[in-house]
Chain A
Amino acid sequence: EVLLVESGGGLVQPGGSLRLSCAASGFTFSRNWMNWVRQAPGKGPEWVANINQDGSEKYYVDSMKGRFAISRDNGKNSLYLQMSSLRAEDTAVYYCVGGNYWGQGTLVTVSS
C-alpha cells in the first residue's frame, strides 16, 4: 500500500518559517518525481514545487521562488518543503504528491 504522510504543519506568524516533511512508503520513492501541492480553504489545488529523482532539478511556481525550498532524502524516503517569509495567503493544506498518489495533507496556518 502506498502511503504519503505529511507532517510539520501548524500555526505560524507572518514572516515566520516552517519545514514540512513527507514520509513515503509502498513504492520506489527514489525513482519518482515528487511534488508539493497546496489547497487554500475553499479553493482548488495549486501546485507549489517539484523535484526530480536525484534532487538535481527543482521547479517552483513563480510566487514562491526564493521563499520555498524543496528537497528530498532518498535514503529516508522523505520529501521536504522549507517555507520562509510566510504570508497569510500561504495558509493552506499542503499535500505531498508522487507515485501517482496524494498524501492526507498537513495544515499550515499563517496568522498573528
Chain B
Amino acid sequence: DIVMTQTPLSLSVPPGQPASISCKSSQSLLHSDGKTRLFWVLQRPGQSPQFLIYEVSNRFSGVPDRFSGSGSGTHFTLKISRVEAEDVGVYYCMQNRQLWTFGQGTKVEI
C-alpha cells in the first residue's frame, strides 16, 4: 500500500498570509501513463470533501488561483498564496497511483 504522510498536521495562518502543506508518498506516484496521480482535497467544516487539484498542479474548475500545487515523484506541496476565511478546513493529499489512499490531513485555521 502507498502511505501518504502530511506535514504539518495543523496550521494557523493570519488572513492574507501564505500557507504551505507538504505531502510525501512511500512510493513514486508517477503512473505508466506519464501522469502523476496526486490530488489535493479540502473538507470544510461540516461539509463533504471536495477536490481542489489533480495530477499535482491542475486546479479543478472553480478553484481560486491562490491555490497551487507542485512536486514530483514522492514529494508534493500545496500552497495558498493568501489565506482567506473560506479556506479554513482540513486538507488531504490523496494518491490514486495504486487504488486510493489519503494523508492524515492538515487542519488550517485562521
User: Hey, which bits of chain A sit against chain B, CB under 8 A?
Assistant: 35, 37, 39, 44-47, 50, 59, 61, 95, 100-105
Query: Is B102 interfacial (CB-CB < 8 Å)?
Result: yes
Known contacts A44-B105, A45-B92, A103 near B48 by CB under 8 Å? yes
Chain B residues closer than 8 Å to A35, beta-carbon distance: 100
Chain B residues closer than 8 Å to A47, beta-carbon distance: 99-102
Query: Is B50 interfacial (CB-CB < 8 Å)?
Result: yes
Is B92 in contact with A44, judged by CB distance below 8 angstroms? yes
Q: What are 5 sample pairs from A and B whose C-beta atoms fall under 8 A apart?
A: A44-B104, A45-B41, A45-B43, A59-B99, A95-B48
Is B41 in contact with A100, judged by CB distance below 8 angstroms? no
Count of chain B residues with a beta carbon within 8 Å of a chain A beta carbon: 18
User: Hey, which bits of chain B sit against chain A, CB under 8 A?
Assistant: 41, 43, 48-51, 54, 60, 90, 92, 94, 99-105
Chain A: CB-nearest residue to B54: A100
Is A46 in contact with B102, judged by CB distance below 8 angstroms? yes
Q: Quick one: which of B50, B90, B102 contacts A102, CB cutoff 8 A?
A: B50
Is A104 in contact with B48, judged by CB distance below 8 angstroms? yes
| Distance A45 CA – B95 CA, assembled complex (angstroms) | 12
Nearest Cβ distance between residue B75 and chain A, in whole angstroms? Answer: 20
Chain B residues closer than 8 Å to A39, beta-carbon distance: 49
Chain A residues closer than 8 Å to B104, beta-carbon distance: 44
| Distance A39 CA – B60 CA, assembled complex (angstroms) | 23
Nearest Cβ distance between residue B14 and chain A, in whole angstroms? Answer: 26
| Distance A35 CA – B101 CA, assembled complex (angstroms) | 12
